[in-house]
Chain A
Amino acid sequence: MDWGFILERTISTMFGVEVMVFALAAVGLNVHFGYTGLLNFGQVGFLAAGAYGLGITVTYLSWSFWIGILFGIVYSIVLALILGLPTLRLRADYLAIVTIAASETIRLLVRWRRSQEITGGAEGIGEFADPFYDVSINPFSVGVRYEFGPFSYVGRDMWVLTVGWIVLILTVLFVRRLMSSPWGRTLKAIREDEDAARALGKNAYFYKLQSLMLGGVIGGMAGMLQVIQKGSIQPDTFNPVITFTIWAILILGGPGRTWSPVIGSMIYWTLIAFLENVLRDLPEGASETLDDTIGLSDFNISQVRFMLVGLGLLLLARYRPQGIFGSREEMALDDR
């Protein structure tokens, strides 16, 4: 086993595309759940809304990439309205049921045979992201590999990463600023005690709807960055496991805290990458023993990874709902 190689690859994931995209999506979920207490179990639907808003505008309407970005945001807002309007007046669990169902329905809808003309059906959408890489301020050339100490990324990813991390950090700072504003404090009041907030004359329904839209737009931006990096939109990448991974990341970092989505995402992906790199790099004998005894091979490592996500979510929610760094006073997955 080459530990140096394993560590090198693991460290590179720490600031990689996955960490960035999932951190951004978790910032959105943090607005929903961490600050407002909304149980959104369909965050992947917002990622899909952003991605398809962009892809459909560029390929089907043949409009500019930058208008596509705008439409990605519009689609996310529309989805938030569709999900929020019927459910936000009701008890928290109704939003959970509707979001988990809706995110899966979106996936079925875009991969539907009849929407193929617009959404590309099961094949998805490709060739829409070039303007992003062709902008004149992009200092990186596509074919080159950039290395900084242990970190190494290809030129294409470098540009996505630069833009993505700037967007991520600005979003986190924006959310932090927003949550200390009167608006944000009203959200937290609703999270703590909705009846009390209403008694003080706050329209809780409207605030929750705004929070759902804001977090949804942030999720939509994460979806856009993800498909820009991939260069294609595949409907089946927007599966429910993504949502649950985002939840695991948020609870890992601690809901309701400024930087927790970023830290949670880094911890999660570093652990996963380390585990996978170790399993894939086991000496011959060990990997064969694993294959013979429990049938674990390269082929199903990712299934074990999802099992670990589930187990981690179960144990975290049970024993440390405030996350690793969260404080109990601020957020303890409270009833409401």
Chain B
Amino acid sequence: MSGESWRRTLPHPSQRSWLPQPSTRASLVVVLVFGAVLGVLMGAGSAGAQSEDSGPQAIFGQLDYEDVELQEDIAVPGVVIEVDGVGTSETDNNGEFRIEVPGPGSYVVTLDVETLPTGINLRNPENNPLNIEVRESSDQRVLFPLIEGEAGSGGESGGVSFRRVAQLTAEGLKQGLYLAMAAIGLSLIFGTTGLVNFSHSELVTWGMLSTYFFNFYGLAGVIGFLAPLPPPFGGGVNLILAAVLGMLCGAALGYVLNRVVFRSARQAGVSLIAQMVMTIGLSILLRYFFLYLFGGSPRTFGDYAAQRAVSIGPIELTPKDIVAMSLSVVILVAVASYLEMTKMGKAMRAVADNRDLAESTGIDVERVITWVWVSGAALAAISGVFFGLDQVKWDFGFRILLLIFASVTLGGLGKAYGALVGALIVGLAINLSTLVIDAEVKNMVALLILAVILLFRPQGILGQRERIG
């Protein structure tokens, strides 16, 4: 394998210089830039904080359900709540609603079941509509407990039916396609540099979060003084434009990480093991930086958050899922043709295959590595945006780290197409596994796949048979 061969070309540790290289200054610059971005984003964040208005009396509440897989309460936006004879309200992105009522008295509150997202139901359908007593001088909270799955079943997995298999296949395909975009970059970075990049999952989160910030705060989310200008500079921009900006942010972070952190490490002869520990450190640094900025609770994008599913045969998907899945197919085909047809794409595969040979034929390996980092990070960012259509969360990337690594190993570390095939298999396998096991532990199937593949075919499906022990 290529990683093996060029590893031997590194100087022996005793010959290496462990003195800090001139690039220390560059790392310092990055830290400072991060600090500045942090300050600006915090400013934007506090500007967007909601203020509770204390108007006349109101009926209010919050709709959420516990996601069995994430073990977290997830807000349900876009649900219509009606107070008879007073008015209606739609839950916002935090699942909150508030309907002002003329005064104390008895009201009938109805939740429009039709507006609930697919798969989410009332826990007690008989308690809808509800009779609510509003007292003097205090707002009245209304509870509509929601659950995932059918009412009364407690979210247990149902039996095997054609409909269910079709639905899970569609969802597995969706997850596999999104995973593939994250996995290809990881695989190519390993192929070209021999580095197992544990911080790759943070690039997924980064794409998701930067898109969220553009979606809500526009370019002012990054460049603070633009705040008073109209959108797209000041206010939030539409999700589609935000996603493009988020992708650019992803590419930029990939460029910076390679340029400032890993290129200097490679040039200083830092061993691959030490570089791997560096990616671990980087991953935890970025992850808690995200938590610091974003907070711990999950959120949703401002656009297309609450969509009704449409039926295609036995399958129910939301329009945004269909668009995102089609887009990811287009992107993956584009990546494949890029790798097959362009000079840079061929160079990437050549370097991944055998670095020394590629270099001796005149390929500028460092340039190829830069492009691999930039495009890999951009792909990871898009993957984050697509995953974020369901939920935006500070540690999302880390939660799918296992899946990404299972995909890459399954397909063969370092093989671009291997990552694609591996991701689709992993996506389908874990989703279809919920036919027999709880959704809560479906990700363990990925670990099982990982263990089995390492036992019987450690080079992966598309890897060549060679000794890698």
Task: Point out residues on A near B: beta carbons under 8 Å.
Answer: 39, 41, 85-87, 89-94, 96-98, 100-102, 104-105, 108-109, 111-114, 122, 240-241, 244, 247-248, 251, 293-295, 300, 303-304, 306-307, 309-322, 328-329, 332-336
Contacts and interface: CB of A to CB of B under 8 A. Distances in A.
Contact of A108 (B13, B14, B35, B440): B440
Interface in B250-298: 261, 265, 268, 270-278, 280-289, 291-292
A314 B278 contact: yes
Contacts of B402: 100-101, 104-105
Contacts of A320: 18
A105 B46 contact: no
Contacts of A336: 273
B277 A247 contact: yes
B443 interface: yes
Contact of B451 (A41, A89, A98): A98
B138 to A, nearest CB: 29
B447 A96 contact: no
A32 B214 CA distance: 45
Interface residues of B, number: 63
A335 B444 contact: no
Determine the main DSSP class of B at the interface with A.
helix
Contacts of B274: 317-318, 321, 333
Contacts of B39: 293-294
B10 A335 contact: yes
Contacts of B14: 328-329
Contacts of B16: 332
Given A89-B469, A90-B458, A91-B4, 8 more contacts: A101-B402, A105-B402, A241-B284, A294-B35, A311-B281, A313-B281, A317-B275, A332-B13
A102 B455 CA distance: 15
A333 B409 contact: no
B440 A112 contact: yes
Contacts of A303: 288, 291-292
A334 B440 contact: no
Interface string B9-50: 010011010101000000000000001001100100110000
A313 B444 contact: no
B44 to A, nearest CB: 11
Given A101-B401, A314-B285, A109 B271 contact: no
B280 A244 contact: yes
A120 to B, nearest CB: 14
Nearest to B41: A295
Interface string B218-237: 00000000000000000000
Determine the main DSSP class of A at the interface with B.
helix
Nearest to B272: A335
A322 B440 CA distance: 41
25 contacts: A41-B198, A97-B196, A98-B447, A98-B451, A101-B447, A101-B450, A108-B444, A112-B441, A304-B288, A307-B289, A310-B284, A310-B288, A313-B277, A314-B282, A317-B278, A318-B268, A318-B278, A321-B274, A321-B277, A328-B14, A329-B14, A333-B273, A333-B274, A333-B277, A334-B273
Nearest to A245: B284
A122 B288 CA distance: 23
A251 to B, nearest CB: 7
A244 B281 contact: yes
B334 interface: no
Interface in B106-159: none
A281 to B, nearest CB: 21
B258 to A, nearest CB: 14
Nearest to A104: B402
Interface in B441-460: 441, 443-444, 446-447, 450-451, 454-455, 458
A87 B454 contact: yes
A87 B261 CA distance: 29
Contacts of B401: 100-101, 104
B273 A309 contact: no
Nearest to B440: A112
Contacts of B446: 101
Contacts of B38: 294
Contacts of B271: 321, 332-335
Contacts of A240: 398
B346 interface: no
Given A295-B42, A313-B284, A94 B458 contact: yes
A7 to B, nearest CB: 27
A242 B398 CA distance: 15
B281 to A, nearest CB: 3
A108 B443 contact: yes
Nearest to B69: A108
A68 B292 CA distance: 39
B283 A310 contact: yes
A314 B440 contact: no
B340 interface: no
B406 interface: yes
Q: Which of B270, B273, B398, B440 has the most CB of A within 10 A?
A: B273
Contact of B292 (A41, A97, A304): A304
Contacts of B13: 328, 332, 334
Q: Which of B270, B288, B455 has the most CB of A within 10 A?
A: B288
Contacts of B7: 335
B454 A307 contact: no
The 3 closest A-B pairs by CB, nearest first: A310-B285, A313-B281, A314-B281
Contacts of B373: none
Given A114-B438, A321-B270, A333-B277, A307 B450 contact: no
Given A294-B38, A307-B288, A311-B281, A86 B451 contact: yes
B468 interface: yes
Contacts of B386: none
B51 interface: no
Contacts of A329: 14
Nearest to B10: A335
